[in-house]
């Protein structure tokens, strides 16, 4: 009701503005006529025909002012209504109401485009707000779990009759939980930097095949622990990119492949340098459903097959953001109990000519 009253008030003010414009025009014409009447041409203007013409012009101008004001008040309501609605909804969005939308029903195409863009902007703001709330909720949950483990084991350690073996088990669980908290904090900080474009990209000539080999060496203990077999096929590849960011991508994907592979399984790692630069990481592990694949890059999403596994659901989010920063794209395909394949693709333009 209040909005309707405001709109009527705005229509009236605009109509009054048009009337005032015409009225000022009439006054100006009247002043000009007065000046002319005091000039040497006054006797000529006082002639019957001339004086009638001047009077008629003033009447027409006055009638035009009234008519234009009335036409604007009744016919200009629709386009102006959209603008008023846009103003009201903008204020609501500024106050944090991201459910506000404007009706796209103007007869003016350009105005419709503005209204559509406004709705699109608010929709994206709403998604960001939801993501932000979910992020805080998920971070809180992820912190609670290891903290609860630490607290319960500290309470157990207070028991003086505890054997040395039981003490060692408690200390191991505490140490594992601290490690999880460290990784979580590190990943949250990385996400924050990536979201706020605070990651500096240091573009240099990088041997991508050597980056992959180094990542394999860094993770060799994990391969041995699960007795995994590595099938390696790497083309020589010199590109202009950020070595540290590339290492984070490859390290994370290989770590995931190891984590979800079965004991004694096979992991395939290849680097193809042809029409595009393609890094492929494939495992023969537990795989994922299509539902999990659809959300695999969402924050804290771990899917139904990984609830009991290590991790906090941020690794692949970080990977996807870094790949985007480096002007690449990432693809994933998977089948339950058959394994998962990740492909990171960079354009041929990043190759360094040798």
The model's confidence at residue 298, banded by pLDDT at 50, 70 and 90, is confident
- Higher pLDDT: 281 or 177? It is 281
What is the C-alpha separation between 157 and 151, in angstroms, rounded?
A: 10
Q: Say whether pLDDT at 215 is over 80.
A: yes
Q: How far apart are CA 335 and CA 58, in angstroms?
A: 84
Please determine, for residue 308, whether its predicted confidence score (pLDDT) is greater than 60: no
Fold of 126-195: Helix Hairpins (1.10.287)
Query: Which range is most confident: 21-30, 82-91, 328-337?
Result: 328-337
Do 118 and 91 touch, CB atoms closer than 8 A? no
Whose tokens are 């594992």? That residue is 176
How much is the pTM? 0.55
For the chain, what are the domain ranges?
2-123, 126-195, 204-350
Smallest Cα–Cα separation from 121: which of 100, 138, 91? 100
Between strands 277-283 and 266-273, the pairing is antiparallel
Rounded to whole angstroms, the Cα distance separating 15 from 9 reads 10
Residue 240 near residue 206, CB atoms below 8 Å? yes
One CATH from 3.30.360.10, 3.20.10.10, 3.30.565.10, 1.10.150.120 for 204-350: 3.30.565.10
Asked whether 343 and 291 are in contact (CB, 8 A), the reply is no
Neighbour tally for 33: CB within 10 Å? 15
Report which DSSP code applies to 104. -
Kindly give the interhelix angle for 164-195 and 315-325, rounded to the nearest 10 degrees: 30
| Residue-level pLDDT at 230 | 92
């Amino acid at each position: 009701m209040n909005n309707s009253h405001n709109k009527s008030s705005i229509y009236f003010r605009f109509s009054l503005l048009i009337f005032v414009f015409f009225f000022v025009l009439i006054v100006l014409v009247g002043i000009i006529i007065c000046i002319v009447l005091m000039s040497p041409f006054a006797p000529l203007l006082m002639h019957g025909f001339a004086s009638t013409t001047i009077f008629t012009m003033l009447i027409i101008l006055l009638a035009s002012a009234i008519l234009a004001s009335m036409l604007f008040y009744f016919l200009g309501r629709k386009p102006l209504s959209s603008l008023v609605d846009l103003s009201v909804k903008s204020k609501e969005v500024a106050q944090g109401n991201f459910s506000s939308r404007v009706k796209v029903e103007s007869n003016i195409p350009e105005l419709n485009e503005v209204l559509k863009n406004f709705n699109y902007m608010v929709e994206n703001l709403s998604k960001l707000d939801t993501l932000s709330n979910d992020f805080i909720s998920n971070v809180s949950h992820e912190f609670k779990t290891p903290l609860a483990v630490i607290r319960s084991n500290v309470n157990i350690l207070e028991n003086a009759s505890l054997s040395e073996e039981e003490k060692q088990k408690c200390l191991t669980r505490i140490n594992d939980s601290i490690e999880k908290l460290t990784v979580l904090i590190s990943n949250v900080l990385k996400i924050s930097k990536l979201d706020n474009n605070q990651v500096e990209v240091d573009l240099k000539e990088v041997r991508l095949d050597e980056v992959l080999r180094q990542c394999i060496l860094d993770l060799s203990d994990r391969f041995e622990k699960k007795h995994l077999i590595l099938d390696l096929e790497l083309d020589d590849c010199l590109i202009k990119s950020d070595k540290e960011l590339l290492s984070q991508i490859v390290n994370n994907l290989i770590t995931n492949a190891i984590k979800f592979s079965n004991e004694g399984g096979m992991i395939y790692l290849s680097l193809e340098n042809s029409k595009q630069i393609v890094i492929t990481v494939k495992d023969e592990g537990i795989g994922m459903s299509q539902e999990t694949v659809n959300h695999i890059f969402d924050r804290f999403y771990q899917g139904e097959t990984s609830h009991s596994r290590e991790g906090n659901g941020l690794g692949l989010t970080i990977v996807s953001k870094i790949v985007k920063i480096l002007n690449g794209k990432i693809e994933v395909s998977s089948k339950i109990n058959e394994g998962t394949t990740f492909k990171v693709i960079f354009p041929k333009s990043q190759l360094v000519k040798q």
